Amino acid sequence: MTMDHYKRSALNFFTASTLDRMALKRRDPQWLATSLEAQHSRFLPIYQRKNLLSDGEIPHPVYLDYREAKTFGDISESILLGTLEGLTYFALPIKTASDSLSSKGKWEELRWQASVLPHDEASLAIYAKALSHWHERNQYCGDCGYLTLNKEAGHMRECTNPESKHMHFPRTDPAVIVLIYKGDYCLLGRQAIWPQFQYSTIAGFVEPGESLEDAVLREALEETGLEIKTVHYHSSQPWSFPSSLMLGYLAEANTDAINLEDQELEDAKWFSRQDIKEGLRAGTLKLPSHVAISYRLIEAWFDEGEEGKLLELMPAKDK
Ligand SMILES: [Zn+2]
């Protein structure tokens, strides 16, 4: 039976279905003030777009209690993330990281560390990072240039211009990510800067005035020269590096002659399932790790064939 989209997306890393975002409490200053100081509040510090992760075999985000949060950061800048298993989580943007804060772990770029974190914690960590990044980039009003202030528990910034009080809300940038297939082959490409043998699906930002499907067709044509016949939605994944939302598709090509029109890809090839299986075994093909939706799109196509489950063929470190 076909899995519905909600269940499929929930399997994607960084999705946060178990977190209650407490959206209705964001405009309740009394609740917020009490929750910030409560024993069950936890703060995820973010410094220069990096998350503080504990050392150890399985790293975890470092969580500060209220007293520590007050010592290391500015509580008025904290951002409500939500509640999970009795705890209320906040992101805490840090302007200057003291040695005693930094000594609690390592400041890490989440993109390269996420796969070792437990799923729920990775989701919290990326959410904290995404909102902190948005605040950092919206200190001034895009309409009139006045300073803006943190409002609604960090889910709005309000312009200090008394004439206008412009309101600004967190943004996400939609991007399509597409596995193109034709008959028994799928198309994978690589960018010149990627590690040797690394191949993946194609992807690109949705442009103003485009539907998601328009974006799939355009990206396919620009990056590979292929014309697309059908487009099917698979699932989505927050990809806050810094603020994307990946919308995953499987698209059937009408043509098979590859032309790297816009030079974004260094190479693109058709792979049979057998090619993928042999490439993974020989180490001459590397696929994205399970953390990325691109892996899940390739898997969705691969597992329809007779060659077994893609996950079982993946090197242990990428599972
Ligand atoms: Zn303004």
Question: For residue 143, is it within any domain?
Answer: no
Q: Could you list the residue range(s) of the whole structural domain that residue 309 is in?
A: 173-318
Distance CA 317, CA 21 (A): 32
pLDDT, one tens digit per residue, over 118-140 is 889 999 999 999 999 999 999 99
pLDDT, one tens digit per residue, over 45-85 is 999 999 999 988 889 999 999 999 999 999 999 999 999 99
Could you tell me the pLDDT band of residue 319, with boundaries at 50, 70 and 90? low
Ramachandran angles phi, psi of 182, nearest 5°: -155, 120
Question: For residue 115, is it within any domain?
Answer: yes
Q: How many A from CA of 172 to the centre of ligand 1?
A: 21
Q: How many A from CA of 229 to the centre of ligand 1?
A: 46
Q: Order of strands across the sheet with 167-168?
A: 148-151, 156-159, 167-168
Arithmetic mean of pLDDT, 164-184: 97
Mean pLDDT (the chain, rounded): 94
Same domain, 128 and 186: no
What is the model's pLDDT at position 112? 81
The CB density around residue 307, as the number of other CB atoms within 10 Å, is: 15
Q: How many A from CA of 146 to the centre of ligand 1?
A: 6
How many residues does this entry show for the chain?
319
Q: How many A from CA of 281 to the centre of ligand 1?
A: 57
pTM over 0.85: yes
> Which residues have CB under 8 Å from 7's CB, separation 6+?
none
Question: For residue 160, is it within any domain?
Answer: no
CATH number of the domain residue 266 falls in: 3.90.79.10
Q: How many A from CA of 153 to the centre of ligand 1?
A: 19
Tokens of 129: 């990072």
Q: How many A from CA of 157 to the centre of ligand 1?
A: 10
The total number of structural domains in the chain stands at 2
Question: For residue 162, is it within any domain?
Answer: no
Q: How many A from CA of 288 to the centre of ligand 1?
A: 42
